[in-house]
């Protein structure tokens, strides 16, 4: 494909993805759909997978992790109910794609990634695309980012045995948390938790999903110790 035709082709594929994979499956928020349309997903996958960036599937990235299928990203982001002025925490930055989408919708986004390599590449991609309201930390996401709490919304891009207590405590009253939860790694149901008072939470089940395991002090245990927190940007 000639260089001059690559970007129009990606733009066409992105538009088709939004209409066929996301809107047609029930995501109706125009704010979310517009945000998805402004983020070039091909820039958040390994270069050799760029041609598959807009297919309806998760894709492998470095460190044996994945970038979620576009519909799941849109569905989870819509479930947060963002209106534009929020401070959001994301656990599991991965490639940086979902953080970029969140950055189009929220005032400030704080995202944590336990793999140093992924944290570095996420910073590079987000900086390249001008998402200066997205901040990346390398560390244990199950412990959250306490010095930046409380958060109006929290989204967790990995499945844990339960919602980490640290994340519950860092959710603002009235805030919403969306996360895959399940007793078996790799098979979970998506929950939305709304903090209604200091010690009260309302939980809704949104559907069955499959995510990589949430590794950390308040998640699944890893064979090796997760390095300590160190801000990346």
Rounded CA-CA distance 146/150 in Å is 8
**Is 206 part of a structural domain of the chain?**
yes
**Is 231 part of a structural domain of the chain?**
no
**Is 227 part of a structural domain of the chain?**
no
Rounded CA-CA distance 42/142 in Å is 28
Note if the bond before 187 is cis, omega within 30 degrees. Answer: no
**Is 159 part of a structural domain of the chain?**
yes
**Is 128 part of a structural domain of the chain?**
yes
Distance of CA 153 to the CA centre of its chain: 12
10 Å CB burial of residue 203 (0-12, 13-18, 19+) is exposed
Mean pLDDT to the nearest integer, 107-135: 97
**Is 233 part of a structural domain of the chain?**
no
The mean predicted confidence, pLDDT, of the chain is 91
| pLDDT tens sequence across 194-222 | 999 999 999 999 999 989 899 999 999 87
**Catalytic residue numbers?**
68
Number of domains in the chain: 1
> What pLDDT, on the 0 to 100 scale, is given for residue 229?
43
Domain interval for residue 7: 3-222
Identify the CATH number of the domain in which residue 99 sits. 3.40.50.150
**Is 229 part of a structural domain of the chain?**
no
């Amino acid at each position: 494909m000639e260089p001059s035709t690559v970007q129009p082709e990606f733009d066409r594929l992105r538009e088709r993805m939004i209409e066929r994979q996301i809107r047609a499956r029930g995501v109706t928020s125009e704010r979310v759909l517009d945000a998805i349309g402004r983020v070039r997903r091909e820039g958040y996958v390994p270069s050799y997978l760029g041609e598959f960036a807009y297919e309806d599937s998760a894709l492998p990235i470095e460190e044996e992790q994945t970038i979620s299928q576009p519909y799941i990203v849109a569905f989870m982001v819509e479930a947060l109910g963002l209106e534009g002025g929020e401070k959001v925490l994301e656990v599991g930055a991965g490639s940086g794609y979902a953080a970029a989408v969140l950055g189009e919708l929220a005032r400030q986004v704080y995202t944590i990634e336990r793999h140093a390599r992924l944290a570095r590449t996420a910073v590079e991609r987000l900086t390249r695309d001008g998402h200066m309201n997205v901040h990346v930390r390398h560390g244990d996401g199950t412990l959250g980012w306490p010095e930046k709490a409380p958060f109006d919304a929290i989204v967790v891009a990995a499945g844990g045995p339960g919602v980490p207590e640290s994340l519950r405590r860092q959710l603002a009253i009235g805030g919403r948390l969306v996360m895959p939860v399940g007793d078996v790694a790799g098979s979970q149901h998506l929950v939305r938790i709304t903090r209604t008072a200091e010690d009260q939470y309302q939980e809704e089940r949104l559907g069955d999903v499959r995510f990589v395991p949430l590794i950390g002090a308040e998640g699944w245990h890893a064979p090796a110790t997760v390095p300590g927190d160190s801000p990346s940007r």
